[in-house]
Structure 1
Amino acid sequence: MKKILFGLLALVFAEIAVFIVIGNAIGVFYTLLLIIFTSIAGLLIAKKRGTKSIQDIQKSMQQGQPPAVPVIETFMIFVGGVLLAVPGFITDILGILFVSGITRNLFKPVIFYYLRKKMKRGQVVILQK
């Protein structure tokens, strides 16, 4: 819990520093416009990709396949959309990485490794009907 709190606090300070640097470089008005534009564009992209990934989950379930990969992708797109909605340049970059298909494929093995590790410890349980 302390790590998360420290990480969030560090992120806030880093975002403020980036705001100051970019505000000095291009001006306050254009900095605010850029933040608003990236938030709106990011949310629209996340909505479009999120809808497709939900359809992929439904399709794999109809075919009788486990929807593990589409669920992970949907989760990553959701997290990316939230990061894009939060004002800030660092969170926008992270959000774009999560929403983009190329970089999402790089993160998937890390997430699967983390989930397998949690499952072995008994911290994550999957229920079947």
Structure 2
Amino acid sequence: MAVLFLLYVITEVAAVWAVASQIGVLGTLGLLLAGALVGSWLARREGGKAARAVMATARSGRSPHNEITDGMLVGLGGLLIFLPGFVSDVAGLLLLLPSRALFRRAWMRRVQRRGPARSTSGAPFGPGMRTRTIVVDSEVVSDDRRRDDGEGGPRPNGRPVIDSE
């Protein structure tokens, strides 16, 4: 992971250096600032669209897998926009623009290849899957039960007396 982070930093510095050598330091700073402003506006707009799409799909009774994935990609794109540098800005813009559909399709294919999701008990769940529900009857017992040996106080260890049937 540290190697990937180091490669990312080196790539960002190289990209900023290359742009600065072509258009100058002030132009580079202006381009980075413009990218952040446009990207944040776009992230807000696309995030709102994604949230409305999730709500509309859920209200219609359909599963909002694609809409939730779009929202996740918009969030990742917004995060990438706020990281300084040109490489992260370009990657963020690709996730915020309509090209996001390519990434969504690739992500959904990857998820479908991994098979159906499983619950914590190991039972599969999802569309068409049945799960087993176990109901356990129980009784709530008050903690302030007293001993029946005539002293009337709680047991010495502080635990309540529970009569078994």
Q: Give the TM-score taking structure 2 as reference length.
A: 0.68
Please state if 1:15 is matched with 2:9: no
Structure 2 residue matching 1:64: 3-state secondary structure: coil
CA separation of 1:92 and 1:33: change in aligned 2, threshold 3 A:
same
- Which of 63, 71, 88 is 1:74 aligned to? 71
Q: Which runs of 5+ in 1 are unaligned?
A: none
The aligned length equals 124
8 Å Cα contact 2:50/2:70 also seen in 1: yes
Q: Which residue of 1 aligns with 2:49?
A: 52
1:77 is aligned with what amino acid?
A: V
- Which of 73, 77, 100 is 1:104 aligned to? 100
8 Å Cα contact 2:73/2:100 also seen in 1: yes
Worse-superposed segment, 109-118 or 37-46 = 109-118
Q: Which residue of 2 aligns with 1:113?
A: 109
CA separation of 1:84 and 1:68: change in aligned 2, threshold 3 A:
same
1:106 is aligned with what amino acid?
A: L
Shift of 1:117: 3.7
Structure 2 residue matching 1:66: 3-state secondary structure: coil
Q: Give the TM-score taking structure 1 as reference length.
A: 0.85
CA separation of 1:7 and 1:69: change in aligned 2, threshold 3 A:
same
- Aligned equivalents of 2:14 and 2:118: distance in 1? 41
Give 1 or 2: higher helix fraction: 1
Q: CA RMSD in A?
A: 2.4
8 Å Cα contact 1:40/1:85 also seen in 2: no
Looking at CA atoms only, which structure, 1 or 2, has the larger radius of gyration? Answer: 2
- Aligned equivalents of 1:114 and 1:72: distance in 2? 12
Larger RCO: Structure 1 or Structure 2 (Cα < 8 Å, ≥ 6 residues apart)?
1
